[in-house]
Copies of this chain bind each other. A is one copy, B any other.
Amino acid sequence: MTYFDVASSAPLHPVARQALVAALEEGWADPARLYREGRRARLLVDAARESAAEVVGCRPDELSFTSSGTQAVQLGVLGALAGRRRVGRRLVVSAVEHSSVLHAGEAHEAAGGTVALVGVDRMGRVSPEAFAGALTADTALACLQSANHEVGTVQPVAAVAEECRKAGVPLLVDAAQSLGRLDVPPGWSLLTASAHKWGGPPGVGLLAVRKRVRFAPVWPGDERERGRVPGFENVPAVVAAAASLRAVRAEAARLAELAELVDVIRARVPELVPDVQVVGDPVRRLPHLVTFSCLYVDGEALLSELDRAGFAVSSGSSCTSSTLTPSHVLRAMGVLSEGNVRVSLPLGTTRADVDRFLAVLPEVVRGVRERLGVSGPAASRTEPSGIEGPGPADPQAPALVVDALGRRCPLPVIELARRIGEVPAGSAVAVLSDDEAARLDIPTWCEMRGQEYLGERPAHEFGADRGSAYLVRRVEPGS
């Protein structure tokens, strides 16, 4: 099995395993206790904190260990908002933050606060100017990831931090994808990370809060971790997290190997597989991560075929069992979501591993497309739809209505591709769909295939009881 999904969770680093097993012997006692075992556990936590703080670039007393990256984000976001409640209740975040940030924002909204999303470009990158524009006088906190977890784009954190500094707004940087891999960007006020993303054990997150930042813990506290993180300290896991962070940091030079392999994938996939869109910034990116989407492909089927072929990868498609909507990241970028694949390489991945993946991928995609009835460029081979357009009397009206209601991604796009050939060039097709992904994928399909996307209308205008109608004008014969 070739594991290409370290962005979800990295296998335990050997240093982490060794430290964990040792610390289970030495650090199981309560570090708050005064006897020998307790003092020993306290020394281990203190040493781990010092070591992790050095990598993060903060003082040890600015760093708390949490029980997950998600908890670090939630405690950090809500604590910083509570600490600056008098300034205002506005939270500014990029539209492509990790769900933990967005969920914390939802909790903040439910409690009466407001959340402003800063959009991104097609590469998934925020503009420092746009971010600066969102920083109003009543902004209590801003959040920006160091790098995007789905497409790998590195954000301009230093420039955004400078804008935040000018506006007097603290910036929380979610460094989950980059800590241990890339240098910590300067200028943050709060920083969060997650150990299992760098090869540490699960059960450990980091929350660093600069001394000068106003912070008010929002969750029932206790005396642990300076009142910021309640619950018995997980000393062995904390020790293993800190040890592996140092080890991973020392190996970071080897990430250049992965960056080269990612360049190979970025270049070769569109050559090997028809109708593919590689997404994310090609240059300012995480070294080990690349994402692409395949037209006319069901993401879940693709993952399961790749799994069968021996490759573990991830997907932001809506057509996987774990979610019903396309990834908010792909949506914010306005790129194709169907047949989405995220490849994130562990250290030690070889060119041979990548070549095997590239050898397998085209056949896997072809097989999935074939089972969906697509082979080569999709052509109109199906029977006419039961619903017909209002006819040529209305010049704005589509010449053909394709009913894809009740059909899940990627079927609406496949239907559109099949049937657009039925109308003459210059005429429009309306695709009726109640699948969320269609909103993203039909415009993207138009762009990829040189068709003109006309917009979205309520489906009831076309006699349907639910969903939307997506209008497309056929630009050239064939699709």
CB <8 Å contact, A28 and B5? no
Contact flags A61-103 to B (C-beta < 8 A → 1, else 0):
0000001111100100010000000000000000000011001
Interface-lining segment among A144-152, A307-315, A374-382? A307-315
- Contacting A220 at CB < 8 Å: which of B74, B205, B237? B74
* A32 cross-chain contacts in B, Cβ below 8 A: 322
Closest to A204 in B: B203
* A8 cross-chain contacts in B, Cβ below 8 A: 29-30, 33, 38
A6 to chain B, nearest CB (A): 10
A1 to chain B, nearest CB (A): 6
CB <8 Å contact, B74 and A230? yes
Interface positions of A from 23 to 80, Cβ below 8 Å from B: 24, 28-30, 32-38, 67-71, 74, 78
Q: Other CB < 8 Å A-B pairs besides A8-B38, A33-B312, A34-B300, 4 of them? A: A9-B29, A35-B311, A68-B234, A194-B232
CB <8 Å contact, B11 and A33? no
* A237 cross-chain contacts in B, Cβ below 8 A: 202-203, 237
Closest to A310 in B: B36
* A312 cross-chain contacts in B, Cβ below 8 A: 29, 33, 35-38
> Does chain B have a CB within 8 A of A21?
yes
Contact flags A415-438 to B (C-beta < 8 A → 1, else 0):
000000000000000000000000
CB <8 Å contact, A201 and B24? yes
* A298 cross-chain contacts in B, Cβ below 8 A: none
> Does chain B have a CB within 8 A of A235?
yes
- Contacting A321 at CB < 8 Å: which of B29, B34, B69, B196? B34
Bound-complex Cα distance A104 to B205 (A): 22
* A21 cross-chain contacts in B, Cβ below 8 A: 21
CB <8 Å contact, B24 and A12? yes
> Does chain B have a CB within 8 A of A251?
no
* A9 cross-chain contacts in B, Cβ below 8 A: 28-30, 232
> Does chain B have a CB within 8 A of A222?
yes
Interface positions of A from 185 to 227, Cβ below 8 Å from B: 194, 196, 201-203, 205, 219-223
A300 to chain B, nearest CB (A): 7
Bound-complex Cα distance A100 to B304 (A): 44
CB <8 Å contact, B74 and A202? no
CB <8 Å contact, B34 and A232? no
> Does chain B have a CB within 8 A of A384?
no
* A107 cross-chain contacts in B, Cβ below 8 A: 219-220
Interface size class of A (residues with CB under 8 A): 35 or more
The 27 sampled A-B contact pairs (Cβ below 8 Å) are A5-B33, A8-B30, A8-B33, A8-B38, A9-B29, A21-B21, A32-B322, A34-B304, A35-B306, A35-B307, A67-B68, A67-B203, A68-B230, A68-B234, A70-B222, A70-B230, A71-B230, A71-B231, A74-B230, A100-B220, A100-B222, A103-B220, A103-B230, A106-B220, A201-B234, A203-B234, A237-B237
CB <8 Å contact, B104 and A220? yes
> Does chain B have a CB within 8 A of A236?
yes
- Of A34, A233, A322, which is in contact with the most chain B CB atoms at under 10 Å from its CB? A34
Which 6 A-B residue pairings sit nearest by Cβ, starting from the closest?
A: A68-B231, A67-B67, A35-B312, A70-B231, A103-B220, A203-B234
- Contacting A196 at CB < 8 Å: which of B1, B70, B205, B232? B232
> Does chain B have a CB within 8 A of A357?
no
* A219 cross-chain contacts in B, Cβ below 8 A: 74, 107, 219
CB <8 Å contact, B12 and A222? no
Closest to A221 in B: B103
> Does chain B have a CB within 8 A of A366?
no
